Structure formats: structure tokens, C-alpha cells
Structure 1
């Protein structure tokens, strides 16, 4: 067996693995839901505020050195913050507010630009809060493989955030 045969076989294996990874889903959706004591208006007021969000920010629970720099208006569209911590750097900006949800555009630089939404619906025994994220993993084979693990990774973060929110409202 010559070196060219080994290199050719290795190249073919890499190409096949990359092509196989591109068959994985491009779009990732993560969602968690909880019924909390309180009402939808209180949840959405906190969620739409750059400082209110910090009262339940799930990353503050695990990173005491997380740096948060609020910007824009205190609440509503354009309200946001820059963050820098052990889990990454970027920005989160309120991009839409409706009577039942707040949407965020997140910029993680080279890590991507996912969107998140916190929806709240009052029910007789409290408020049902749904926290979700959508991400486009693009044509990057590594990103597509990472997409397989997003639910487990981000889902735990959302669960922690919902727990924090339960004590904040």
C-alpha cells in the first residue's frame, strides 16, 4: 500500500463524513415550558426589559463573573444587553413584543445568531411560560453535528431560567 492510497482513502473518508454531517438537520428548535405562580403581564414585563431579564437570567446562576452591559431603552424593542462570560460573548436585543410573547435576536459572533422567545399565557392556576430558541446551523458540518446536542445543552439552561423566573415574579 502506497502513501497515495492511504491519503486518498483518508480524503475519501473525510469527504464522506462531511457529506453525511450535511444530511443532519440545518434548523434546531429547543423549547421548555413550565406553569408558574403569577400572571402573564408580570412575566412579559420582566422579559421585555434589559434589566428585568437579569432578574432571571439563567447564566448569572452559573457564572458569577458574567459581565452584563445594558443598552437601548429600558424596555421594549431595542432594549438589550451585551454579555461576556465563561459561556461566551455577544448581545441579546428585544426584537418584538406582543401581548403574549417577547422575541430576542442574539448575536454570538462566529457562534451564530439564534432567536429566542419567551411566551406567557395566563391560566387559572398561574401562568404557562414557554421559552424557546431557533437556530440555523448553516452548511457547516461541525455546526450540524453540534445541533444534535443543542436540546440537551440549551434545554438545561432554559429550565434553570424558568426556575429563576418562578422566584422573580
Structure 2
């Protein structure tokens, strides 16, 4: 009887391994949102890892996580590392390609709870209302990755985080745009005030034609 049970378990395990082996060897998760700002403002918030805490959905999962910044201040060569609770794990990101207002491509490396490397990109394209931002992650599935995807919907799980991140990115970018507009308006007002003051000063000074000739004794 025990032999039959063990044989049955072996058959089930073999069948399960066969099913897992048929799962896709690659995956892609992608979400797109339209932000009501110019491309340069949205790009700036993504191209600088120092600003990710303002909108990244994962930073909010563990406010106490340890973060490090290395390499370039922003753009190509910038590196960001994190280590936190079980929800965020540990890993690092490196910007491998940055094209102003068009693309930020990132090497995403997870160290804990499992080691894997994926590619993440942000694509920026002009849209009628502002800029279209596409957040995309793609990679390959080893056997464990295939097993995970067999029981978990990777697109739904990661996709909801992308949706939340893009929604928060929109809020941050729109706030940046408002601050920039206010700063530009204040600058214009100051320039106009300075010009008006300069014009009054010049108008108040007598010209050569208006000078009074003083007779010499």
C-alpha cells in the first residue's frame, strides 16, 4: 500500500514538473498612463533615483528600509540599492540608458527573497493632454519562475503596483509643473517691475535737449 502511495506521489510530481516546464520562458508586465505635464517634467521625476521615494509604490511598503545611492547623480550610471522587510526584500537598480524626455532603461536585480535580474523601462511620448508614460518590466523565467507563474498571476500582481506608481507619479509631476509655473510667473512679474522702475527713472532724468544753458561770467 505504501509503495502505491509513493508511486502515486511520484507520478503527481512528474506531471507537475511537466506542467511547469510548459509555462512561458519569458514574461512582460506593462502599464501606460497619460500625465497632464510636459515630457521633461515626468522624465525628471523618473531619471533621478533620489525622487523615487515620492512616487514608487514599493518605497511605501517599508518606510524604514535602508537605501543607498551610488554612481551618477541621475541618468546613465546612477545606482540605487534597497534592503527592507519581506514585502520589499533586497535589490538594486542601475540606469543603463537614459535619453532625455524619451527613455529610461534600468537593470533591476533582486537579491532577496530570491535572486533574479529583469529589465525595466520607462517610455515617454507626447500626448494630446501632456505625456504618455509606459512602465514596462520584462525578463526570463527559470524553473522556479515558471512554477511561480503557474500559481500566481504575475501581470495582475505587478501590474497593480505599476498602476499605483504611475498614478502617484502623475500627482508628483503635476505638482512640479505647478511650482514651475508659479516660479516663472514670479520671475516675469519681477522683470516687468524692474523694467517699469527703470523706465520711470530714465524718464525722470533731463535729456541733453532739455538742459538749461548757464551763462558764463
Mapped partners of 2:56, 2:31: distance in 1:
15
Per the alignment, in what secondary structure is the counterpart of residue 94 of structure 1? strand
1:30 offset after TM fit, Å?
Answer: 0.5
Q: What is residue 105 of structure 1 aligned with on the other side?
A: 107
Mapped partners of 1:145, 1:38: distance in 2:
41
TM-score, normalised relative to structure 1:
0.90
Q: What is residue 59 of structure 1 aligned with on the other side?
A: 58
Q: What is residue 151 of structure 1 aligned with on the other side?
A: 155
Aligned structure 1 segments of 4 or more residues deviating by more than 6 angstroms: none
Mapped partners of 2:26, 2:125: distance in 1:
26
Per the alignment, in what secondary structure is the counterpart of residue 171 of structure 2? helix
* Contact 1:49/1:80, CA 8 A, preserved across alignment: no
CA deviations over 1:6-32 (Å, ceiling 9, x no partner): 212211210110111110111111111
CA deviations over 1:60-102 (Å, ceiling 9, x no partner): 2332223221111111111021011222100011111124110
Mapped partners of 2:57, 2:71: distance in 1:
21
Unaligned runs of 5+ in 2: 174-217
Higher strand share: 1
Unaligned runs of 5+ in 1: none
Q: What is residue 92 of structure 2 aligned with on the other side?
A: 91
Q: What is residue 48 of structure 2 aligned with on the other side?
A: 49
State which drifts further: 7-16 or 50-59. Answer: 50-59
Mapped partners of 1:135, 1:65: distance in 2:
29
Higher helix share: 2
1:158 offset after TM fit, Å?
Answer: 0.7
CA deviations over 1:87-145 (Å, ceiling 9, x no partner): 2100011111124110111111233111111111121211111101002112x1x4213
Larger RCO (alpha carbons 8 Å, 6+ apart): 1
Bigger radius of gyration: 2
* Contact 1:76/1:97, CA 8 A, preserved across alignment: yes
* Contact 1:50/1:71, CA 8 A, preserved across alignment: no
1:150 offset after TM fit, Å?
Answer: 1.1
In the alignment of these two chains, the number of paired residues is 166
Mapped partners of 2:54, 2:117: distance in 1:
23
